[in-house]
């Protein structure tokens, strides 16, 4: 009797990254077929939750693999379709968006669907942690809150495209004077933090908007978030902290930063001021909120040969290093101006 072939469902966003996926669908399907998958494709529509609903359907139909092709938004939707299921298919990503933080963390080639699809043939997988918010929303990279996070909603989208989620914040230095501290109570595995913060990060991966030094020791599969609390709203101090981030992640020992590992986080504002929550770069509801880390929840195809290999510097990273260098000098000039 012929052995049943594994089934794969490609869910792709046709408008992501200059419609790059649309041009490569046939070749990607051929590659997946050559790896022994019986493969079919679904093109997402403008309808709300189009990718999420299709991912749920594929999971319930018993597909072995679901491939999300698009930007971080499409990937997040597919995760939200699969994560609640009892029997979850494996997942692969073909990154065609602008930031692609998650692809960066998994070392998947970005902006090249054919090369990304070929990674599936390496058969290297990692059982990844997934974050759950409000008991029903899932995220795979970052949950953020605080006044600094809220500024991201008012930044022009072309800056967002150029620099990613955090880098464009750094670029938008003119917004930084609007930052304020907010009083919060944060419950975590090791106790309670009560105080004022301008920013709260709960990171699963080490890549946030292209900054791989924000949570430099984040592990993809240890069941923990890296919780980072920024305890200052002073413009010069924040610029100094950003410099420490750019200087190899030296911010983690700074007294203005609380940096810890935890599988559970409860964020409760201690004032009447609204606190918006950012999940994987998009608005995801308001605090109070409970975040849980679901350890090893979805098996992802990854390029595990390179995940621990920090010696390779891509063109993207070189570009980023140049940006970091320029930004550091801009900050030095600002500091000099303010010290007079």
Residues identified as active-site: 282
The DSSP output letter for 251 is: G
Contact 223, 263 (CB under 8 A): yes
The three-state secondary structure class of 263 is coil
Other C-beta atoms lying within 10 Å of the C-beta of residue 285: 12
Sequence-separated (6 or more) residues with CB below 8 Å from residue 91: 65, 66, 67, 68, 78, 79, 82, 298, 299, 300, 301
Dmax of the chain from CA atoms? 83
The H or E element spanning position 260 is: strand 257-262
CB 59 within 8 A of CB 88: yes
Q: For 227, phi and psi rounded to 5 degrees?
A: -95, 125
DSSP one-letter string for 79-117: HHHHTT-SS--EEEEEE-SS--HHHHHHTPPSS-HHHHH
Which of 125, 105, 95, 112 lies closest to 13 in space, CA to CA? Answer: 95
Question: Could you give the CA distance from residue 37 to residue 308 in angstroms, rounded to a whole number?
Answer: 29
Which of 98, 97, 106 is closest to 70 using CA atoms? 97
Rg (alpha carbons) of the chain, rounded to whole number: 20
């Amino acid at each position: 009797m012929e052995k049943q072939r594994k089934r794969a469902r490609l869910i792709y966003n046709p408008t992501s990254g200059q419609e790059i996926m649309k041009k490569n669908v046939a070749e990607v399907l051929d590659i997946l077929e050559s790896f022994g998958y019986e493969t079919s494709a679904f093109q997402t529509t403008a309808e709300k939750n189009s990718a999420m609903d299709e991912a749920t359907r594929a999971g319930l139909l018993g597909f072995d693999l679901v491939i999300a092709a698009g930007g971080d938004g499409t990937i997040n939707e597919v995760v939200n379709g699969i994560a609640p299921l009892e029997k979850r298919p494996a997942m692969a990503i073909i990154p065609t968006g602008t930031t692609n933080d998650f692809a960066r963390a998994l070392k998947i080639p970005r902006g090249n669907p054919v090369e990304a699809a070929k990674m599936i043939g390496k058969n290297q997988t990692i059982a990844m942690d997934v974050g759950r918010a409000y008991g029903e929303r899932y995220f795979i990279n970052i949950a953020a809150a605080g006044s600094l996070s809220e500024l991201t909603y008012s930044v022009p989208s072309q800056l967002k495209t150029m620099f990613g989620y955090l880098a464009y914040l750094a670029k938008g230095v003119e917004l930084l004077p609007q930052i304020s501290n907010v009083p919060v109570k944060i419950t975590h595995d090791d106790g309670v933090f009560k105080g004022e913060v301008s920013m709260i990060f709960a990171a699963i991966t080490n890549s946030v908007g292209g900054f791989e030094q924000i949570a430099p020791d984040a592990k993809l599969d240890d069941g923990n978030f890296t919780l980072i609390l920024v305890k200052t709203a002073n413009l010069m101090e924040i610029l100094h902290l950003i410099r420490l981030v750019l200087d190899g992640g030296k911010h983690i020992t700074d007294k203005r930063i609380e940096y810890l590992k935890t599988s559970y986080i409860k964020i409760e504002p201690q004032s009447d001021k609204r606190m918006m929550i950012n999940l994987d770069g998009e608005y995801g509801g308001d605090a109070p909120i409970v975040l849980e880390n679901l350890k090893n929840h979805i098996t992802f195809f990854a390029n595990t040969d390179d995940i621990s290999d920090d010696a390779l510097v891509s063109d993207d990273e070189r570009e980023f290093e140049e940006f970091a260098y320029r930004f550091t000098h801009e900050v030095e000039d600002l500091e000099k101006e303010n010290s007079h």
